[in-house]
Structure 1
Amino acid sequence: MRKGLEVAITQVYPNIEHRECIRHLYSNFKRHFRGDFFTSNLWAAARTYRPSEHDILLKEIFDEREAAITYLNQNHKRIWSRSKFGTISKCDYITNNISKVFNSWIGDLRCQPVLQLLDAIREKFMNLGEYEVLRSSDNRAEVKFKGRQWEVVLNERTCTCRVWQVKGLPCKHAAAFIGSIRDNNWDKHVDQYFTIEKYKEAYALDISPMPGKDEWDREG
């Protein structure tokens, strides 16, 4: 809803699909139309992928309070339902929560000129979420974060948090260690049951279809 950003995006990407965050839409909507009925139907209309279901939900709102639909048509003309999303971008987010989290993460950096901003973001990514990795060998390290610490042993696939041992997938402490050594071969740190080969093997067998009950053989 930032006016300057809207103009800039329109100029740079004239054919872009402009979507609206349902959380902000609802924040405005509920000032005029309150109640569980409007909440559940409006959010359901935003979440559904099917145009027919979207129309049914809006029809229910219309039948309950015609002014609510009039308000939406007049004040929220952008795309806010998955049922109206195009199929090119392959993104079904109906809120901009991820951008809010990102803005919070970069903090005051977003006020910097673009080159300094990008370089600072690069450095933050390289810090691996502020986890401090103290290596004692190629496979062993002490990982610290906010006053706490864990021991990670890569070749044994263990961490003192025990998440790695239980789940079979590297925990966030192990991931910080692996990322710090720029190890691109993540497969060797994952339990064999999470490999692509095992996934394909697990679903390799066919599940035989069955006819309807009216076509079953009956004795006697």
Structure 2
Amino acid sequence: MELVISEYKAYRALKTATKVMQGDYQSQYGELRDYILELQRSNPGTTVKLDVEPGNLKSKTKVFKKIYVCLGALKKGFKAIGRDLLGLDGCFMKEPAKGCILTAVGVDSNNGIYPVAYAIVELEYRQKGLVHAVENLFPCAKHRHCLRHIHGNMKGSFRGVAYKNHLWRCATVTTVPEFEHAMNQLKEFDNVAYVWLSDIPPHQWARSHVTGKVVSDVLFSNMCEVFNRWLIDARDKPIVTALEYIREYCMKRIVNVIKKRSKCDGPLSIGAAKVFEKIKSEANKCNVLWGGNQKYQVSGPAINGQPQEQFVVDMETRTCACRKWKLTGIPCKHAVAVNWNMVENGFEVGDPETWVHSVYQLTTWNNTYQFTIEPLNGSHLWPKAGDLYTLVAPKKISTPGRPKKKKKDVCK
């Protein structure tokens, strides 16, 4: 339009437009208590914990510290999955809203992410503090470390593809003898690296030492990283707008999964069926020897005249010596080969899909996503929290995006 505006005029216009679209960083803290009431009214069973800075008990003004949200629908859906697995992670918020968004994410029947709870906390958050807090509140819970983070720490002293391959080998084998063999190979390669890795308890990072209770052999915190990636646009927004962004994303994701689920007509979820088809193709190459009781000897095909892996499948306990069936809940190729052998011998055992853990069944997937997140009214219809106290922003909140003054050129 052939107009020239100053940098500060552009800044003021941007600030005004952002405030209209996203809300004000300072004033939204005063609306937070009303937002919580509306959230709990529209979504029964929702848990919200609001924490404020300690101060004068008689003061009518409280400074925001942190907030935790677990929507009622997500709480019920996580229980319906039947997989006691949670990934915990966090990402930093951007200026001027300093702090961290913490997330707790599960894995659904399709091996997709299932957000369970989220929180916005002060900047002083640290990973080790979270680990100790979980240990105190849930002393019986088992903890796993993300293998990618372990490798990141390992690269500080031990760089190179060879170290990565040794770490991967140690972490992915599923039996204790294989793990010990892999660790001995690392010891021969570099004893210092072996000592460093041995300081980390193997049940926190190696599949060979993980129990099958959670029906998952996951080694990475991918579920959290995927969820956090979708929250990038929420990290620079005012408090209520950021919380609403997360809630709306979870609401839309449930609807998207419902649409995808309606196209599935098999006994298993889409992701589980794809994994199982690959396993069945590998089972064709296995040889089964039945001893006349509940145990079967299964071996892979010989390569270049050399016999390959050989494992015992116990049908009484529904386990295989390779431990993959127990870890994932999906029958390994050895178990599938036994299933076919039993059918050939006249046993009524059903299709191999009936041996898959209930976590992956289509009925479980349907039950998980029957719980939907309800929409919210606008702020003008929110219930009022009363005048018990007024919530204000932390002192760290500043004015967003103000350009720095440039030094004037001085001619000498």
- TM interval, shorter chain, is 0.5 to 0.7
Aligned-partner Cα distance in 2 for 1:31–1:3: 19
Shift of 1:31: 2.6
Rounded to whole Å, the distance in 2 between the matches of 1:95 and 1:177 is: 23
1:38-73 CA-to-partner distances (Å, cap 9, x unmatched) read 221210111111111111011001012111111123
Overall identity of the aligned pairs, in %: 26
Change (3 A) 1:178 1:72: closer
Structure 2 counterpart of 1:63:
188
1:110 Cα deviation from its structure 2 partner:
7.2
TM-score by length of 1: 0.54
* 1:46–1:81 CA contact under 8 A, matched in 2: yes
* Match status 1:196 vs 2:267: yes
Q: Give CA deviations for 1:102-156 in whole Å, capped at 9, x if unaligned.
A: 1221236579889x84x65342133349xxxxxxxxxxxxxxxxxxxxxxxxxxx
Match runs of 1:1-220 below 5 Å: 2-74=127-199, 76-77=200-201, 79-107=204-232, 109=234, 117=243, 120-128=245-253, 176=256, 179=259, 186=262, 189-190=263-264, 194-196=265-267, 208=344
**Structure 1 residues 110 and 11, CA gap change in structure 2 (3 angstroms):** farther
Residue segments in structure 2 that go unaligned for 5+ positions in a row? 1-125, 274-335, 346-412
CA, structure 1 residues 110+2, in 2 after alignment: closer, same or farther (shift >3 Å)? farther
- Name the SS for the 2:131 alignment partner: helix
Structure 1: stretches of 5+ with no match in the other structure: 130-174, 210-220
Q: From the two aligned structures, give the one with the greater helix fraction.
A: 1
**Counterpart code for 1:81:** A
Match of 1:154 in 2: none
1:208/1:22 Cα in 2 relative to 1: closer, same or farther (>3 Å)? same
Residue 177 (structure 1) shift: 9.9
- What is the aligned residue count? 148
* Bigger RCO of structures 1 and 2 (CA < 8 A, at least 6 apart): 2
Q: Distance in 2 between matches of 1:41 and 1:125?
A: 38
Preserved CA contact (<8 Å) 1:103 1:110: no
| Bigger radius of gyration | 2
How far did residue 7 of structure 1 move?
Answer: 1.6
CA distance in 2 between counterparts of 1:18 and 1:196 reads 32
After TM superposition, the score normalised by the length of structure 2 is 0.31
Report the AA paired with residue 99 of structure 1.
Answer: C
Contact 1:19 1:80 in 2 (8 A): yes
Question: 1:151 maps to what in 2?
Answer: none
